[in-house]
Chains A and B, each alone.
Chain A
Protein backbone atom coordinates (compact mmCIF):
# COMPACT_ATOMS: atom_id res chain seq x y z
CA UNK A 1 0.00 0.00 0.00
CA UNK A 2 2.89 2.35 0.73
CA UNK A 3 3.90 2.52 -2.94
CA UNK A 4 0.41 3.68 -3.96
CA UNK A 5 0.33 6.35 -1.27
CA UNK A 6 3.92 7.29 -2.04
CA UNK A 7 3.03 8.01 -5.64
CA UNK A 8 0.22 10.41 -4.68
CA UNK A 9 2.40 12.12 -2.07
CA UNK A 10 5.22 12.47 -4.58
CA UNK A 11 2.91 14.13 -7.10
CA UNK A 12 1.05 16.41 -4.73
CA UNK A 13 2.96 16.79 -1.46
CA UNK A 14 6.69 16.21 -2.01
CA UNK A 15 7.65 17.97 1.25
CA UNK A 16 5.48 15.59 3.24
CA UNK A 17 6.83 12.62 1.30
CA UNK A 18 10.38 13.72 2.09
CA UNK A 19 9.49 13.94 5.81
CA UNK A 20 7.92 10.48 5.77
CA UNK A 21 10.88 8.96 3.94
CA UNK A 22 13.47 10.52 6.18
CA UNK A 23 11.90 9.27 9.41
CA UNK A 24 11.72 5.90 11.07
CA UNK A 25 8.38 4.17 11.44
CA UNK A 26 6.86 4.93 14.85
CA UNK A 27 8.00 2.46 17.48
CA UNK A 28 5.45 0.59 19.57
CA UNK A 29 2.67 0.80 16.96
CA UNK A 30 0.36 -2.21 16.68
CA UNK A 31 -2.80 -2.70 14.67
CA UNK A 32 -5.81 -3.75 16.77
CA UNK A 33 -6.94 -6.58 14.54
CA UNK A 34 -9.62 -7.82 16.93
CA UNK A 35 -11.34 -4.45 17.25
CA UNK A 36 -14.71 -4.00 15.53
CA UNK A 37 -13.18 -1.03 13.68
CA UNK A 38 -9.55 -1.49 12.73
CA UNK A 39 -7.28 1.04 14.33
CA UNK A 40 -3.75 1.53 15.52
CA UNK A 41 -2.54 1.57 19.10
CA UNK A 42 0.79 3.18 19.93
CA UNK A 43 2.29 2.66 23.37
CA UNK A 44 -1.16 2.19 24.87
CA UNK A 45 -2.84 5.10 23.05
CA UNK A 46 -5.51 4.48 20.40
CA UNK A 47 -5.14 6.58 17.28
CA UNK A 48 -8.93 6.52 16.75
CA UNK A 49 -11.92 4.89 18.39
CA UNK A 50 -12.00 1.14 17.85
CA UNK A 51 -15.77 0.70 17.63
CA UNK A 52 -17.30 3.13 15.18
CA UNK A 53 -14.78 5.31 13.41
CA UNK A 54 -17.31 6.87 11.06
CA UNK A 55 -19.57 8.07 13.87
CA UNK A 56 -16.50 9.43 15.61
CA UNK A 57 -15.42 11.32 12.48
CA UNK A 58 -18.93 12.79 12.19
CA UNK A 59 -18.77 13.98 15.77
CA UNK A 60 -15.42 15.63 15.09
CA UNK A 61 -16.64 17.15 11.82
CA UNK A 62 -19.51 18.77 13.71
CA UNK A 63 -17.00 21.28 15.07
CA UNK A 64 -16.80 22.75 11.59
CA UNK A 65 -19.87 24.67 10.41
CA UNK A 66 -21.71 22.91 7.61
CA UNK A 67 -21.36 25.89 5.26
CA UNK A 68 -17.60 26.43 5.75
CA UNK A 69 -15.68 26.82 2.52
CA UNK A 70 -12.34 26.19 4.20
CA UNK A 71 -11.45 23.94 7.12
CA UNK A 72 -8.40 22.66 8.98
CA UNK A 73 -8.03 19.15 10.33
CA UNK A 74 -5.42 18.68 13.02
CA UNK A 75 -4.40 15.08 12.59
CA UNK A 76 -4.16 12.64 9.71
CA UNK A 77 -5.37 9.61 11.65
CA UNK A 78 -6.81 6.97 9.36
CA UNK A 79 -8.33 9.55 7.01
CA UNK A 80 -11.89 9.24 8.30
CA UNK A 81 -12.35 12.88 9.27
CA UNK A 82 -10.87 14.17 6.02
CA UNK A 83 -13.21 11.92 4.03
CA UNK A 84 -16.17 13.02 6.11
CA UNK A 85 -15.47 16.71 5.43
CA UNK A 86 -14.68 16.22 1.76
CA UNK A 87 -18.17 14.80 1.33
CA UNK A 88 -19.46 18.32 1.90
CA UNK A 89 -20.18 19.95 -1.46
CA UNK A 90 -19.62 23.49 -0.12
CA UNK A 91 -16.11 22.78 1.11
CA UNK A 92 -13.50 24.27 -1.22
CA UNK A 93 -10.32 23.84 0.78
CA UNK A 94 -9.24 21.30 3.39
CA UNK A 95 -5.86 21.53 5.08
CA UNK A 96 -4.82 18.34 6.86
CA UNK A 97 -2.00 18.74 9.37
CA UNK A 98 -0.05 15.66 10.38
CA UNK A 99 1.68 15.46 13.74
CA UNK A 100 3.85 12.38 13.44
CA UNK A 101 5.50 11.45 10.15
CA UNK A 102 6.70 8.13 11.60
CA UNK A 103 3.15 7.26 12.55
CA UNK A 104 1.82 8.40 9.18
CA UNK A 105 4.31 6.04 7.56
CA UNK A 106 2.93 3.10 9.57
CA UNK A 107 -0.63 4.05 8.62
CA UNK A 108 0.18 4.49 4.94
CA UNK A 109 1.81 1.09 4.82
CA UNK A 110 -1.64 -0.34 5.31
CA UNK A 111 -4.37 2.19 4.50
CA UNK A 112 -5.02 3.55 1.02
CA UNK A 113 -5.36 7.36 1.16
CA UNK A 114 -5.27 7.80 -2.59
CA UNK A 115 -8.99 8.50 -2.88
CA UNK A 116 -8.91 11.68 -0.81
CA UNK A 117 -5.28 12.74 -1.13
CA UNK A 118 -5.90 13.17 -4.88
CA UNK A 119 -8.80 15.54 -4.18
CA UNK A 120 -7.65 18.95 -5.36
CA UNK A 121 -9.26 20.64 -2.37
CA UNK A 122 -6.80 18.89 -0.05
CA UNK A 123 -3.56 20.37 1.24
CA UNK A 124 -1.38 18.11 3.41
CA UNK A 125 1.16 19.82 5.68
CA UNK A 126 3.40 19.09 8.66
CA UNK A 127 2.52 20.34 12.15
CA UNK A 128 6.17 21.13 12.88
CA UNK A 129 6.08 23.76 10.11
CA UNK A 130 2.94 25.54 11.37
CA UNK A 131 3.08 28.63 13.55
CA UNK A 132 -0.47 29.67 14.46
CA UNK A 133 -3.85 27.96 14.55
CA UNK A 134 -6.36 28.38 11.76
CA UNK A 135 -10.12 28.07 12.15
CA UNK A 136 -12.55 26.48 11.78
CA UNK A 137 -10.82 23.30 12.78
CA UNK A 138 -11.44 19.85 14.10
CA UNK A 139 -8.84 17.63 15.69
CA UNK A 140 -7.99 13.99 16.17
CA UNK A 141 -7.27 13.67 19.91
CA UNK A 142 -5.35 10.40 19.58
CA UNK A 143 -2.88 11.86 17.12
CA UNK A 144 -2.41 14.99 19.23
CA UNK A 145 -1.39 12.84 22.18
CA UNK A 146 0.97 10.86 19.95
CA UNK A 147 2.53 13.95 18.31
CA UNK A 148 6.27 13.69 17.77
CA UNK A 149 8.71 16.00 19.53
CA UNK A 150 9.00 18.45 16.65
CA UNK A 151 5.22 18.91 16.54
CA UNK A 152 4.74 19.28 20.30
CA UNK A 153 4.49 23.06 20.39
CA UNK A 154 1.81 23.20 17.73
CA UNK A 155 0.00 20.27 19.39
CA UNK A 156 -0.11 22.26 22.62
CA UNK A 157 -1.66 25.23 20.81
CA UNK A 158 -4.42 23.00 19.42
CA UNK A 159 -5.12 21.39 22.79
CA UNK A 160 -5.08 24.78 24.50
CA UNK A 161 -7.64 26.10 22.03
CA UNK A 162 -9.82 23.02 22.46
CA UNK A 163 -9.83 23.61 26.22
CA UNK A 164 -10.74 27.30 25.85
CA UNK A 165 -14.55 26.90 26.11
CA UNK A 166 -14.13 24.83 29.27
CA UNK A 167 -11.80 27.41 30.81
CA UNK A 168 -14.21 30.22 29.89
CA UNK A 169 -17.08 28.33 31.50
CA UNK A 170 -15.07 27.90 34.72
CA UNK A 171 -14.34 31.64 34.71
CA UNK A 172 -18.04 32.34 34.33
CA UNK A 173 -18.74 29.99 37.27
CA UNK A 174 -16.46 32.18 39.38
CA UNK A 175 -18.00 35.49 38.34
CA UNK A 176 -19.90 35.80 41.60
CA UNK A 177 -16.78 35.10 43.67
CA UNK A 178 -14.92 37.70 41.63
CA UNK A 179 -17.56 40.35 42.25
CA UNK A 180 -17.66 39.52 45.96
CA UNK A 181 -13.87 39.73 46.26
CA UNK A 182 -13.80 43.13 44.54
CA UNK A 183 -16.51 44.44 46.87
CA UNK A 184 -14.54 43.21 49.89
CA UNK A 185 -11.46 45.12 48.71
CA UNK A 186 -13.13 48.35 47.54
CA UNK A 187 -11.62 50.49 50.31
CA UNK A 188 -8.13 49.20 49.49
CA UNK A 189 -8.66 49.75 45.77
CA UNK A 190 -9.43 53.40 46.39
CA UNK A 191 -6.75 53.91 49.06
CA UNK A 192 -3.80 51.99 47.59
CA UNK A 193 -1.63 53.23 44.77
CA UNK A 194 -1.67 52.37 41.10
CA UNK A 195 0.68 49.87 39.46
CA UNK A 196 1.08 52.43 36.68
CA UNK A 197 3.43 54.27 39.10
CA UNK A 198 5.94 51.54 38.28
CA UNK A 199 5.54 51.68 34.51
CA UNK A 200 8.70 52.92 32.77
CA UNK A 201 10.44 53.15 36.15
CA UNK A 202 13.36 50.90 35.11
CA UNK A 203 14.11 51.75 31.48
CA UNK A 204 16.83 49.63 29.94
CA UNK A 205 17.46 47.66 33.13
CA UNK A 206 17.66 43.94 33.77
CA UNK A 207 14.75 42.68 35.87
CA UNK A 208 14.66 39.23 37.46
CA UNK A 209 11.29 37.46 37.63
CA UNK A 210 10.99 34.53 40.02
CA UNK A 211 8.23 31.94 39.91
CA UNK A 212 8.00 29.04 42.36
CA UNK A 213 9.12 26.12 40.17
CA UNK A 214 11.63 23.68 41.67
CA UNK A 215 14.50 25.11 39.61
CA UNK A 216 14.23 28.40 41.49
CA UNK A 217 16.57 26.76 44.00
CA UNK A 218 19.29 26.64 41.30
CA UNK A 219 19.24 30.41 41.03
CA UNK A 220 19.78 31.67 44.57
CA UNK A 221 23.45 32.38 43.99
CA UNK A 222 22.66 34.25 40.77
CA UNK A 223 20.07 36.29 42.65
CA UNK A 224 22.45 37.13 45.49
CA UNK A 225 24.81 38.68 42.94
CA UNK A 226 22.15 40.31 40.79
CA UNK A 227 22.23 43.85 39.57
CA UNK A 228 18.61 44.66 38.93
CA UNK A 229 15.27 44.42 40.66
CA UNK A 230 13.70 41.11 41.64
CA UNK A 231 10.00 40.60 41.09
CA UNK A 232 8.54 37.40 42.49
CA UNK A 233 5.14 35.77 42.44
CA UNK A 234 3.51 35.25 45.83
CA UNK A 235 4.23 31.52 45.75
CA UNK A 236 7.99 32.17 45.42
CA UNK A 237 8.15 34.57 48.36
CA UNK A 238 8.74 32.00 51.12
CA UNK A 239 11.41 30.05 49.22
CA UNK A 240 13.24 33.33 48.51
CA UNK A 241 12.99 34.52 52.10
CA UNK A 242 14.27 31.11 53.20
CA UNK A 243 17.34 31.77 51.07
CA UNK A 244 17.75 35.23 52.63
CA UNK A 245 16.69 36.92 49.40
CA UNK A 246 14.37 39.91 49.44
CA UNK A 247 12.34 40.65 46.33
CA UNK A 248 11.71 44.31 45.61
CA UNK A 249 8.23 43.50 44.28
CA UNK A 250 5.80 40.66 45.09
CA UNK A 251 2.91 40.02 42.71
CA UNK A 252 -0.30 38.33 43.82
CA UNK A 253 -3.51 37.85 41.85
CA UNK A 254 -5.17 34.83 43.42
CA UNK A 255 -8.35 35.03 45.48
CA UNK A 256 -8.03 31.61 47.10
CA UNK A 257 -8.04 32.35 50.87
CA UNK A 258 -6.22 29.21 52.09
CA UNK A 259 -3.68 29.22 49.30
CA UNK A 260 -2.77 32.85 49.79
CA UNK A 261 -2.57 32.52 53.55
CA UNK A 262 -0.05 29.71 53.10
CA UNK A 263 2.05 31.74 50.66
CA UNK A 264 2.05 34.82 52.89
CA UNK A 265 2.65 33.10 56.23
CA UNK A 266 6.15 34.44 56.61
CA UNK A 267 8.11 37.09 58.45
CA UNK A 268 6.69 39.95 56.40
CA UNK A 269 8.67 42.52 58.40
CA UNK A 270 11.61 41.51 56.18
CA UNK A 271 9.67 42.88 53.22
CA UNK A 272 8.60 46.17 54.73
CA UNK A 273 10.62 47.98 52.04
CA UNK A 274 9.07 45.85 49.27
CA UNK A 275 6.04 46.57 47.13
CA UNK A 276 3.02 44.31 46.78
CA UNK A 277 1.39 44.54 43.35
CA UNK A 278 -1.99 42.89 43.52
CA UNK A 279 -5.21 42.23 41.67
CA UNK A 280 -7.90 43.29 44.15
CA UNK A 281 -9.34 39.80 44.41
CA UNK A 282 -6.74 38.62 46.90
CA UNK A 283 -7.94 37.97 50.46
CA UNK A 284 -8.28 41.16 52.55
CA UNK A 285 -6.23 39.66 55.40
CA UNK A 286 -3.23 39.30 53.08
CA UNK A 287 -3.57 42.96 52.17
CA UNK A 288 -3.94 43.97 55.81
CA UNK A 289 -0.78 42.12 56.85
CA UNK A 290 1.45 43.54 54.13
CA UNK A 291 3.66 46.20 55.71
CA UNK A 292 5.16 47.78 52.62
CA UNK A 293 3.78 49.74 49.70
CA UNK A 294 0.72 48.32 47.97
CA UNK A 295 -0.19 48.97 44.34
CA UNK A 296 -3.39 47.87 42.66
CA UNK A 297 -3.41 46.38 39.16
CA UNK A 298 -6.24 45.08 37.00
CA UNK A 299 -6.25 42.35 34.41
CA UNK A 300 -6.92 42.90 30.74
CA UNK A 301 -9.98 40.63 30.64
CA UNK A 302 -13.31 42.40 29.95
CA UNK A 303 -14.58 41.47 33.42
CA UNK A 304 -12.35 44.27 34.76
CA UNK A 305 -13.92 46.92 32.53
CA UNK A 306 -16.55 48.18 34.93
CA UNK A 307 -14.09 48.60 37.79
CA UNK A 308 -11.60 50.20 35.42
CA UNK A 309 -14.20 52.77 34.44
CA UNK A 310 -15.02 53.56 38.08
CA UNK A 311 -11.54 53.49 39.66
CA UNK A 312 -8.94 53.58 36.89
CA UNK A 313 -5.68 51.63 37.49
CA UNK A 314 -2.92 50.23 35.34
CA UNK A 315 -3.51 46.90 33.63
CA UNK A 316 -1.27 43.87 33.45
CA UNK A 317 -1.61 40.93 31.11
CA UNK A 318 -2.08 37.40 32.38
CA UNK A 319 -3.65 34.30 30.87
CA UNK A 320 -4.31 32.23 33.96
CA UNK A 321 -1.05 32.42 35.87
CA UNK A 322 0.54 35.09 38.04
CA UNK A 323 3.85 34.38 36.28
CA UNK A 324 2.47 36.10 33.16
CA UNK A 325 1.48 39.11 35.24
CA UNK A 326 4.93 39.37 36.84
CA UNK A 327 6.63 39.14 33.44
CA UNK A 328 4.34 41.77 31.95
CA UNK A 329 5.09 44.05 34.90
CA UNK A 330 8.83 43.72 34.21
CA UNK A 331 8.24 44.66 30.57
CA UNK A 332 5.96 47.56 31.50
CA UNK A 333 8.64 48.83 33.88
CA UNK A 334 10.82 49.23 30.82
CA UNK A 335 13.26 46.35 31.27
CA UNK A 336 15.43 45.64 28.27
CA UNK A 337 16.27 42.20 29.70
CA UNK A 338 13.99 39.95 31.75
CA UNK A 339 15.60 36.97 33.47
CA UNK A 340 13.13 34.19 34.26
CA UNK A 341 13.82 32.03 37.32
CA UNK A 342 11.84 29.01 38.47
CA UNK A 343 9.47 29.40 35.50
CA UNK A 344 9.45 25.64 34.98
CA UNK A 345 5.97 24.91 33.57
CA UNK A 346 6.51 21.30 34.59
CA UNK A 347 7.96 19.09 37.29
CA UNK A 348 11.76 18.95 37.06
CA UNK A 349 13.16 16.38 39.46
CA UNK A 350 9.63 15.12 39.99
CA UNK A 351 8.79 18.05 42.27
CA UNK A 352 5.97 20.56 42.00
CA UNK A 353 7.52 23.66 43.60
CA UNK A 354 10.72 24.97 45.10
CA UNK A 355 11.31 23.93 48.70
CA UNK A 356 9.87 26.43 51.14
CA UNK A 357 6.67 26.80 49.13
CA UNK A 358 3.75 25.46 51.17
CA UNK A 359 2.66 23.22 48.30
CA UNK A 360 6.08 21.82 47.47
CA UNK A 361 5.80 18.07 47.13
CA UNK A 362 6.59 15.12 44.90
CA UNK A 363 4.58 15.28 41.70
CA UNK A 364 2.05 12.48 41.35
CA UNK A 365 2.39 12.74 37.57
CA UNK A 366 4.17 9.54 36.46
CA UNK A 367 7.25 10.40 34.37
CA UNK A 368 6.80 9.81 30.66
CA UNK A 369 3.00 9.47 30.86
CA UNK A 370 0.50 12.10 29.85
CA UNK A 371 1.22 15.73 29.10
CA UNK A 372 4.83 16.77 28.56
CA UNK A 373 6.90 19.67 27.30
CA UNK A 374 10.56 19.81 26.34
CA UNK A 375 12.96 20.79 29.08
CA UNK A 376 15.90 23.10 28.40
CA UNK A 377 17.97 20.10 27.29
CA UNK A 378 15.34 18.79 24.86
CA UNK A 379 14.15 15.93 27.07
CA UNK A 380 10.49 15.35 27.82
CA UNK A 381 9.39 16.96 31.08
CA UNK A 382 6.15 15.84 32.74
CA UNK A 383 3.63 18.61 33.22
CA UNK A 384 -0.07 19.35 33.39
CA UNK A 385 -2.24 20.65 30.54
CA UNK A 386 -2.79 24.03 32.21
CA UNK A 387 0.94 24.58 32.81
CA UNK A 388 1.59 23.64 29.20
CA UNK A 389 -0.98 26.23 28.09
CA UNK A 390 0.64 28.90 30.28
CA UNK A 391 4.00 28.14 28.66
CA UNK A 392 2.64 28.54 25.14
CA UNK A 393 0.91 31.80 26.09
CA UNK A 394 4.15 33.12 27.57
CA UNK A 395 5.98 32.21 24.36
CA UNK A 396 3.40 34.16 22.36
CA UNK A 397 3.89 37.13 24.70
CA UNK A 398 7.67 36.94 24.28
CA UNK A 399 7.28 36.87 20.50
CA UNK A 400 5.28 40.10 20.74
CA UNK A 401 8.15 41.85 22.56
CA UNK A 402 11.24 41.73 20.35
CA UNK A 403 12.49 44.87 22.12
CA UNK A 404 13.15 42.81 25.28
CA UNK A 405 15.75 40.04 25.70
CA UNK A 406 14.26 37.21 27.70
CA UNK A 407 16.62 34.85 29.51
CA UNK A 408 15.60 31.50 30.96
CA UNK A 409 17.85 30.87 33.96
CA UNK A 410 16.41 27.44 34.65
CA UNK A 411 18.74 24.51 34.08
CA UNK A 412 16.00 21.90 34.40
CA UNK A 413 12.60 23.50 33.67
CA UNK A 414 10.72 23.82 30.41
CA UNK A 415 12.38 25.20 27.32
CA UNK A 416 10.75 28.57 26.69
CA UNK A 417 10.85 29.43 23.00
CA UNK A 418 12.17 32.94 22.44
CA UNK A 419 14.49 32.97 25.48
CA UNK A 420 18.26 32.86 25.72
CA UNK A 421 20.18 30.67 28.13
CA UNK A 422 22.25 32.24 30.90
CA UNK A 423 25.39 31.46 28.93
CA UNK A 424 24.05 33.08 25.77
CA UNK A 425 23.17 36.15 27.80
CA UNK A 426 26.61 36.12 29.50
CA UNK A 427 24.95 35.86 32.88
CA UNK A 428 26.87 32.84 34.21
CA UNK A 429 25.77 31.41 37.53
Chain B
Protein backbone atom coordinates (compact mmCIF):
# COMPACT_ATOMS: atom_id res chain seq x y z
CA UNK B 1 0.00 0.00 0.00
CA UNK B 2 1.34 3.42 -0.91
CA UNK B 3 2.17 5.50 2.15
CA UNK B 4 -0.16 8.32 1.01
CA UNK B 5 -3.02 5.89 0.71
CA UNK B 6 -2.32 4.40 4.11
CA UNK B 7 -2.15 7.90 5.61
CA UNK B 8 -5.45 8.90 4.08
CA UNK B 9 -7.05 5.66 5.25
CA UNK B 10 -5.72 6.16 8.77
CA UNK B 11 -6.98 9.73 8.81
CA UNK B 12 -10.51 8.47 8.22
CA UNK B 13 -10.39 5.27 10.22
CA UNK B 14 -11.60 6.48 13.60
CA UNK B 15 -15.27 5.73 12.89
CA UNK B 16 -14.30 2.24 11.85
CA UNK B 17 -12.15 1.68 14.90
CA UNK B 18 -14.80 3.20 17.17
CA UNK B 19 -17.52 0.99 15.71
CA UNK B 20 -15.31 -2.05 15.94
CA UNK B 21 -14.43 -1.47 19.59
CA UNK B 22 -18.07 -0.70 20.38
CA UNK B 23 -19.11 -3.99 18.79
CA UNK B 24 -16.45 -5.94 20.70
CA UNK B 25 -17.42 -4.38 23.99
CA UNK B 26 -21.15 -4.95 23.46
CA UNK B 27 -20.75 -8.58 22.37
CA UNK B 28 -18.50 -9.40 25.34
CA UNK B 29 -21.08 -8.21 27.89
CA UNK B 30 -24.07 -9.75 26.12
CA UNK B 31 -25.55 -6.61 24.58
CA UNK B 32 -26.09 -8.40 21.33
CA UNK B 33 -28.47 -5.94 19.65
CA UNK B 34 -26.02 -3.10 20.30
CA UNK B 35 -23.14 -5.26 19.06
CA UNK B 36 -24.99 -6.21 15.90
CA UNK B 37 -25.77 -2.57 15.13
CA UNK B 38 -22.11 -1.62 15.55
CA UNK B 39 -21.07 -4.64 13.49
CA UNK B 40 -23.21 -3.46 10.58
CA UNK B 41 -21.35 -0.15 10.77
CA UNK B 42 -18.00 -1.97 10.82
CA UNK B 43 -18.92 -3.90 7.69
CA UNK B 44 -20.20 -0.75 5.98
CA UNK B 45 -17.02 1.16 6.81
CA UNK B 46 -14.86 -1.77 5.72
CA UNK B 47 -16.71 -2.04 2.40
CA UNK B 48 -16.30 1.69 1.77
CA UNK B 49 -12.63 1.57 2.70
CA UNK B 50 -11.93 -1.43 0.48
CA UNK B 51 -13.70 0.19 -2.45
CA UNK B 52 -11.95 3.51 -1.95
CA UNK B 53 -8.49 2.03 -1.52
CA UNK B 54 -8.66 -0.65 -4.20
CA UNK B 55 -5.97 -2.37 -2.14
CA UNK B 56 -5.87 -6.07 -3.00
CA UNK B 57 -3.41 -6.85 -0.24
CA UNK B 58 -5.72 -5.36 2.37
CA UNK B 59 -8.72 -7.08 0.82
CA UNK B 60 -6.97 -10.45 0.97
CA UNK B 61 -6.14 -9.79 4.59
CA UNK B 62 -9.55 -8.74 5.84
CA UNK B 63 -12.11 -10.52 3.64
CA UNK B 64 -11.56 -13.99 5.15
CA UNK B 65 -12.06 -12.47 8.61
CA UNK B 66 -15.25 -10.75 7.50
CA UNK B 67 -16.55 -14.01 6.08
CA UNK B 68 -15.77 -15.80 9.31
CA UNK B 69 -17.46 -13.04 11.31
CA UNK B 70 -20.62 -13.39 9.22
CA UNK B 71 -20.58 -17.17 9.68
CA UNK B 72 -20.19 -16.73 13.46
CA UNK B 73 -23.03 -14.23 13.44
CA UNK B 74 -25.30 -16.67 11.63
CA UNK B 75 -24.81 -19.32 14.31
CA UNK B 76 -25.00 -16.73 17.14
CA UNK B 77 -21.40 -17.23 18.30
CA UNK B 78 -21.01 -13.72 19.70
CA UNK B 79 -17.74 -14.24 21.56
CA UNK B 80 -16.12 -15.65 18.43
CA UNK B 81 -17.23 -12.47 16.64
CA UNK B 82 -15.66 -10.39 19.41
CA UNK B 83 -12.41 -12.39 19.22
CA UNK B 84 -12.25 -12.02 15.42
CA UNK B 85 -12.95 -8.29 15.53
CA UNK B 86 -10.53 -7.53 18.32
CA UNK B 87 -7.65 -9.88 17.56
CA UNK B 88 -7.82 -10.40 13.78
CA UNK B 89 -9.57 -7.47 12.11
CA UNK B 90 -8.38 -4.64 14.36
CA UNK B 91 -4.66 -5.40 13.90
CA UNK B 92 -5.25 -5.83 10.14
CA UNK B 93 -6.63 -2.33 9.77
Contacts and interface: CB of A to CB of B under 8 A. Distances in A.
Contacts of B34: 163, 165-166
A47 B83 CA distance: 12
B31 A385 contact: no
User: Interface size for chain B: under 10, 10 to 19, 20 to 34, or 35 or more residues?
Assistant: 20 to 34
A51 B86 contact: yes
Given A59-B28, A138-B29, A46 B74 contact: no
A60 B83 contact: no
User: Interface size for chain A: under 10, 10 to 19, 20 to 34, or 35 or more residues?
Assistant: 20 to 34
B79 A49 contact: yes
Contacts of B75: 44-45, 369-370
A142 B77 CA distance: 7
Contact of A159 (B32, B82, B83): B32
Interface in B21-45: 25, 27-34, 37
B89 interface: no
B77 to A, nearest CB: 5
A45 B76 contact: yes
B16 interface: no
B29 A60 contact: yes
A25 interface: no
Interface string B53-84: 00000000000000000000011111110110
B25 A141 contact: no
A181 B41 CA distance: 29
Contacts of B32: 141, 159, 162-163, 385
A54 B34 CA distance: 22
Nearest to B77: A45
Nearest to A50: B83
A59 B29 contact: yes
A371 B33 CA distance: 12
A105 B63 CA distance: 38
B76 to A, nearest CB: 5
B28 A162 contact: no
Contacts of A45: 75-77, 80
A366 B76 CA distance: 11
Contacts of B37: 166
A144 B31 contact: no
A141 B27 contact: yes
A51 B77 CA distance: 15
A265 B78 CA distance: 40
B77 A162 contact: no
A5 interface: no
Contacts of B83: 46, 49-51
Contacts of B78: 141-142, 145
B83 to A, nearest CB: 5
Interface string A52-71: 00001001101100000000
A140 interface: yes
A139 B30 contact: yes
Interface in A148-204: 158-159, 162-163, 165-167
A383 interface: no
A165 B31 contact: yes
A419 interface: no
Given A45-B76, A51-B87, A139 B29 contact: yes
Given A44-B75, A49-B82, A56 B31 contact: no
A48 interface: yes
A138 B31 CA distance: 11
Contact of A48 (B29, B79, B87): B79
Nearest to A138: B29
Interface in A34-50: 44-50
Interface of B: 25, 27-34, 37, 74-80, 82-83, 86-87
22 contacts: A44-B77, A45-B77, A51-B83, A56-B28, A59-B28, A59-B29, A60-B29, A60-B30, A62-B29, A139-B29, A141-B28, A141-B78, A144-B30, A145-B76, A145-B78, A159-B30, A163-B31, A165-B31, A166-B31, A369-B74, A370-B76, A385-B32
Q: Which 9 A-B pairs have the closest CB atoms?
A: A141-B30, A46-B79, A139-B30, A166-B33, A166-B34, A44-B75, A163-B33, A370-B76, A162-B30
